[in-house]
Every structure is written in structure tokens, then in C-alpha cells.
Amino acid sequence: MNWSYFTTFAVISSILWITGALIAWKKRNVQIAGIFTGLGLLVFFTFIIGLWISYKQPPMRTMGETRLWYSFFLSLVGLLTYIRWHYKWLLGFSTTMSIVFITINILKPEIHNRTLMPALQSPWFAPHVTVYMFAYALLGAATLVTIYLLWFNHSKDKDKKMLMCDNLVQFGVSFLTLGLLSGAVWAKGAWGHYWSWDPKETWAAITWFTYLFYIHYRLIHPKEYRFALYILLLAFILLQVCWWGINFLPSARGISVHSYG
């Protein structure tokens, strides 16, 4: 398996996901929509596993490879949340986001380097990146709900959807925390210190604290949605800075030990 097959796998997955999303939207048959989305996930995951086997290492090193996992987890989170909450628009949102990342990967792959520097050859590598990508996907899904609530939902009763937002954030922050902690333990084993305030670590802390702000704010002002939703939006923007934005920040350029891709 190599990247030249990506477009084929991605197109098949996307068609299955779009079909699932359309069924969810039109017929609202949870099971059939779920089966289509699940099949799409299976096809997409087959490509990831194929790449993993042929590389003899997890495909998680480059930005292109992390986008691969992000697309996968976003659809997975979309499916799980849809099965649990039955919101008809959810699969459409998560599918759109996944396809955006797939398109970026097709147009600008950044996937050529198969070598893995020694510091990345650690048993912590796969769990750290997987947990992070899963957290990003959950928080991405929370952002989609946020956008929906801020600009598309005109019903006054937002309690249930806010509860979904809260749950996605709670899940996401739990995974984010596990990602941070596994990264800290790995950093200790690789570089000697669990926290060096490297630009990536600083921005990871900023993101984490912003989500903690949201969680604490919701506890005292459960009815003030708008401000809380704007915080969530801001948190996701900060998360983007942490994920790829630091490559463009003058304060971080060239000094982060997290620059691989």
C-alpha cells in the first residue's frame, strides 16, 4: 500500500459517508445511515492499516498522516455521536469536515518522508498521537455543534444540544489530558524532561486551559450559551495554532522539537 492508492480509497469512503449522511438527513434511518458510515470507516481504515504494514511503522509522522487519522476519527466520532443522539445533521457536518481534510491531503500531501527520527521510535508514539487525534476529532465535533448552535439553530430550546456540546468537550478534554500526560512521560524518556515549555507544549497548555475555562464557566452559567459557545470557538482556533499554526508563528519557528513533518 502507498499514497498513490489514497484517492481511490478516499473517494470510496467519501461516497459511503455522503450516502450515510444523506440517509440520516432525509430518511432518518439510524441503522442504515450507520451501516454506510461504518463501511466508509472500514474502507478508510483499511488504507491506514495497509500504509502502516508497508511502512512497518504507524503512519503518524507527517502533517498529511495526522490529517489521515483526523479524517478517520472525525467520521468515527460523528457516527458514535449520531448513534447516541440521533441528530440528523450531525453526520453531514462530520462528513464535510472529513472530506475537507481528505481534499487537503490529495492536493497537498506532505507525505513523502517515510523515515522516522530516533526520538519518535518509542512505544509512546502511537498512543500519544492516536489519543491526540481522537481528542481533536471530538473537539472538532463540538465545534461543529457550536457553529450549528450559533448560526443555524433558531429554536429557543438549546439545553439538549448544549448537553451534547458539554459531553463532547468533556470526552475531548479527557483525551486531551491523556495525550498531554502520555506526551510528558514520553518526553521524559526521550529528552530528559517531562515539560520543557517547547512552543508546541506551550500551545497545548493554552488549548487545554481554554477548554478548562469553558467547562468551569458552564458550571456557573449553564444558561448563558452564547459566551460559552464563543469560548469553544476560540478554543478550537487555539487548538489549530497548536496543531499546525505554530509552524507559521515567528515565536516558534525553528525552535520546536516537535517539527517533523
Contact positions toward another protein, by CB under 8 A?
Answer: 28, 84-87, 109, 112, 114-119, 121-122, 160, 163-164, 166-167, 170-171, 173-175, 177-178, 181, 184-185, 188-195, 197, 199, 202-203, 205-206, 209-210, 212-213, 216-217, 219-220, 241, 246, 249-252, 255
- Minimal distance, residue 41 CB to another protein, in Å: 21
CB of 193 to another protein, least distance (A): 7
Give 238's DSSP letter: H
Nearer to another protein, 49 or 249 (CB): 249
Nearer Cβ to another protein, position 46 or 177? 177
Quick one: DSSP state of residue 250? T
Q: Are 75 and 41 in contact (CB under 8 A)?
A: yes
CB of 60 to another protein, least distance (A): 16
CB of 147 to another protein, least distance (A): 19
* Helix 6-26 with 90-107: angle, nearest 10 deg: 160
Minimum CB distance to another protein, residue 99 (Å) = 20
- What's 117's DSSP letter? -
Complex with another protein: residue 100 or 249, whichever CB lies closer: 249
- Residue 156 or 219 having the CB closest to another protein: 219
- 3-state DSSP assignment of residue 212: helix
CA 261 → CA 62, 63, 176, 198, 241, distances in Å?
A: 4, 6, 21, 17, 15
**CA dihedral sign of residues 133, 138, 139, 141:** positive
